[in-house]
Structure 1
Amino acid sequence: MTTSNILLQCLLLMAVVSLTVTALPPIPDPLSKVPNIPNPWLTFKNFSGCHMGENRTGLASMKKYLNDFGYLPSPLSNSNFSDSFDSEFQDAILSYQRHLGLNTTGYLDDKTIETMVSPRCGVPDIINGTYTHGRHLYTYFQGNPKWPTSTRDLKYALIATSASTIDVATLSDVFARAFSRWAAVIPMNFTETTSTVDADITIGFYNGSHGDGEAFDGPLGTLAHAFSPTDGRFHLDASETWIASGDVTESSSDVAVDLESVAVHEIGHLLGLGHSTVEGAIMYPTLTVRTRKVELVQDDVSGVQNLYGSNPDFKGVAPAGVAGEMDSSGSGEIIRARMGLGVAVTFLVLTFLY
């Protein structure tokens, strides 16, 4: 075979290979489907498996997390948390696991890490070293604050909506449904008013620092906060992807938050309820993104009725998985707490897992 023939065959082979490669589908990028979602606690995944006696760089940030939610006392003045997994930190982990219904392993197992990296309601599960349980698994704020017996007709006003992309009429419908779910079980009425002077409860959307000492932190993280009785302030983070109409479970956004679900939870705080350890309860501290959770369960009902009594028309709570959505009219129907001057600031953050 001549040199020219060999060269020709090589050229033909290169052409075939080129055409074959061109025809193949592109190799998918394994990172292309990973959502670019902010989460201030994702670094906690680096501590999976960490246990007593270890020292991990950055563990101090998890100690700060447990301190924020009431499980770990602040370090001595002018000092910072250490990166050591000491006995005090182990006690805090055990307490956290018990309160969130996790296995009490005493170390940072995968389920505990998964729960801790989930955005959640920011109300401390333990306030000033204690929390008050009712007869079941619901809790109250320290001192059991509630609206007085003489106040059974509460008025609420939407006072700051310009930062929200949702029209006021739709917001009114959402909050009316959220309030009506609690009104269905206790002898209390909630009515929207346009007068801030007459309002017992005020609701608004804000960005970042907004004057109450508890700045919002952008998408996810802290979603909303409210004050315990009888302050009545209820603030929502305007930077969230709030879903107020349609099915949030079908949203194309990886950070979609169901507004009514958040509102029902926060109203529970406005009425004086703390967090429940019942995972299916409205007052459980976590809520998954793109999830709708608006039905009160027995633990929510027992807790609020213990404060205010029962609505005479209340017929009881249907078993989980039986009750459907309430009608659109509402008929039949996430905290950091600072106990200064009897007021507890409550925060709601969303649970996001991926």
Structure 2
Amino acid sequence: MSAKERTPTTAVAGLDGGGLEVREAQRYLARYGYLSGVERAAADEGRLSEPLEAGLRRFQRFARLHVTGTLTVETLKLMRQPRCPMPDFQPEELGGPGVEDSDPFVFSSNVWDQRNLRWSLQTGTPDLADEAAAVQRAFDSWAAQVPLTFTQVSSGTAAELTVEWLTGDHGDGSPFDGSGGAGFNIYAHAFYPEDGRIHFDEAESWAHSHGSGNVDLESVALHEIGHALGLRHSGLSDAVMYFAINSQRRALHEADIRGIKSRYPPVVAAPGQRAVAVPVWALKNGGGSGTVQVDLGTTRRVLAWGHVTMVDSLNDADRDNAWAIEVFDVDGNRPGGFIFGGEHFGSEEAPCNVYSGAFTGRARRITFRATSIHTFDLDIFGTGNILLLDDLEGIE
């Protein structure tokens, strides 16, 4: 259901006069990146103000709630759910991926340069005898989508990723708050590449299922490993990278898959070539997304563009059959993104069936991404194309 289709919900009583709920919301928005430093300084403690209204709108838009700029019941309920303590945005972004940015499916920070990663269990939990197996399954779910491997090594061996169970203030700047804590009920946290630390709160009751006071380890590990690989939060409630943790979720959503594939594409080496064409496809069983990176070996002057060669309809061919093949990344930088439509192109806030076109300039590594916007409707096939412009003078 889109944001505009939701029924407006009742604002919290006493909002205009201020109160504990408003202070709670203000702390939440400041902690998770919905208020800039200037807005935090300008916010009126305990009362609805323009900075707080702006932060509420950002949160409601990101979380696919009805956007009102007021503290509605559904907004407060969501803020009170257990969640990951990683900020959804950095305050200076004033929105960031999924809000004002042009690609709501990618929630990224840095990435690992190497593709064969080791992980070690530094300390476990007495709640489970096989916690390492659950963590390895979570690693394997991500590895099934991208060219990464995760190998467990002993705790005394050097490892890129480390897993630990800790309690309270454990010295990393992000203290745990205990089981059902008085803060925001934090289960675990992780750090972006290339830090490698993944921490779980020992005060929680860890199990192989979610509910009745237990926390499902594999679900939480799947989410935190996403952070450790460089993904950020999603506002899609079905995604593993959703910021709130309210259910057992062990299967990656298409948004998670699109995000991780965008950050870790397979690489095709193409040194010394005057022209390159590489296949790229977006299939339903691959999350509706596909990426490939071409490494030219040296920085060259290029013209690059994506081209759809075939569309295979899986359902009815209607107006929401949107797709794109784009030049997604050039030497670590985004040259553009989807052109977004409103109500007239597919669903509200979804990419429409046009894309940002070609890239020309100097580059060494070019990443193409294919996207099928509605994966239940169609698969797409195409090519990523590169023409070396600095070689054209030698062609008769």
Uncovered stretches (5+) of structure 1, i.e. residues with no partner = 1-46, 321-354
**Which residue of structure 2 aligns with residue 153 of structure 1?**
116
Q: Which residue of 2 aligns with 1:166?
A: 128
If the length of structure 2 is used for normalisation, what is the TM-score? Answer: 0.59
Query: Does residue 99 of structure 1 match 2:99?
Result: no
* 3-state SS of 1:216 partner: coil
CA distance 1:76–1:187, shift in 2 (3 Å): closer
1:292 is matched with 248
Distance in 2 between residues matched to 1:78 and 1:283, nearest whole Å: 30
Q: Residue 6 of structure 2 corresponds to which residue in structure 1?
A: none
1:211, CA displacement in angstroms? 1.5
Note if contact 2:40-2:51 (Cα within 8 Å) is conserved in structure 1: no
* 2:91 counterpart SS class: coil
Q: Match of 2:304?
A: none
2:75 aligned to which of 96, 112, 115: 112
Deviations 1:194-240 (A, max 9, x none): 04442110000001011212110001311101010011000000011
Q: Is 1:273 the equivalent of 2:248?
A: no
SS of residue in 2 equivalent to 1:306? helix
Q: Contact 2:257–2:286 at 8 Å: present in 1 too?
A: no
Q: Contact 1:224 / 1:236 at 8 angstroms: preserved in 2?
A: yes
Identity %: 31
d(CA) in 2 for partners of 1:286, 1:174: 20
Contact preservation (8 Å) 1:152, 1:187: yes
TM-fit CA distance, 1:110:
1.7
Instruction: Point out the structure with the larger helix share.
Output: 1
Letter in 1 for 2:216: D
Asked if structure 2 preserves the Cα contact closer than 8 Å seen for 1:90 and 1:107, the reply is: yes
The answer (yes or no) to whether the contact 1:49–1:109 under 8 Å persists in 2 is: no
Taking the aligned partners of 2:21 and 2:236, their CA distance within structure 1 comes to 31
Are 1:257 and 2:227 matched, yes or no?
no
Specify the alignment match of 1:236 in structure 2. Answer: 200
1:59 is aligned, of 15, 22, 25, to: 22
* Match of residue 104, structure 2, among 137, 146, 150: 137
Give the aligned residue type for 1:190: F
Give the count of matched residue pairs. 258
- 2:219, 2:249 within 8 Å by CA — same for their partners in 1? yes
Q: Residues 225-267 of structure 1: CA distance to partner in whole angstroms, max 9, x if unpaired?
A: 10100110000000111113xxx25x5x2x2111000000111
The answer on whether the counterparts of 1:298 and 1:317 sit within 8 Å (CA) in structure 2 is: no
Q: Which SS does the other structure have where 1:191 is aligned?
A: strand
SS of residue paired to 1:129: helix
Structure showing greater radius of gyration is: 1
**8 A contact 1:157–1:199 mirrored in 2:** yes
Displacement of 1:57? 4.8
In the TM superposition, structure 1's runs of 4+ consecutive aligned residues that sit over 4 Å from their partners are 74-81, 133-136
Write the letter of the residue equivalent to 1:231: D
CA distance in 2, matches of 1:213, 1:109: 31
Q: 1:188 to 1:319 in 2, by over 3 A?
A: closer
Secondary structure at 2:223's aligned position in 1?
A: helix
Q: Where in structure 2 are the equivalents of 1:168-187 lying within 5 Å?
A: 170-187=130-147
Counterparts of 1:207-226 in structure 2 under 5 Å? 207-220=167-180, 221-226=185-190
Name the CA shift for 1:185/1:310 in 2 (closer, same or farther; >3 Å).
Answer: farther
Listed one character per residue, the Cα deviations across residues 89-138 of structure 1 (whole Å, up to 9, x for unaligned) are 11111111001110002212221121111121222222132124586423
Stretches of structure 2 that go unaligned for 5 or more consecutive residues are 1-10, 268-279, 289-396
CA deviation string 1:274-293 (max 9, x = no partner): 011222111111121xx320
Cα offset for 1:186? 0.2
C-alpha spacing 1:58/1:292, structure 2 compared with 1 (3 Å):
closer
Cα distance between partner residues in 1 of 2:234 and 2:167: 28
Higher fraction of strand: 2
Partner secondary structure for residue 95 of structure 1: helix
Contact 2:127–2:205 (8 Å) recurs in 1 = no
CA positional deviation for 1:60: 2.4
Once the two structures are overlaid, the 10-residue window that deviates more, 88-97 or 180-189, is 88-97
Structure 1 pair 92–50 and aligned structure 2 pair: CA distance change class (3 A):
farther
Q: Is 1:48 matched with 2:12?
A: yes
List per-residue Cα deviations over 1:293-341 (Å, max 9, x = no partner).
01011111111111111599x9753789xxxxxxxxxxxxxxxxxxxxx
Alignment partner for residue 150 of structure 2, among 190, 208, 219? 190
Q: Which of the residues 145, 151, 161 maps onto 1:201?
A: 161
Q: Contact 1:187/1:310 (CA < 8 Å) preserved in 2?
A: yes
| Of 209, 222, 240, the match for 1:282 | 240
Code of the aligned partner of 2:81: S
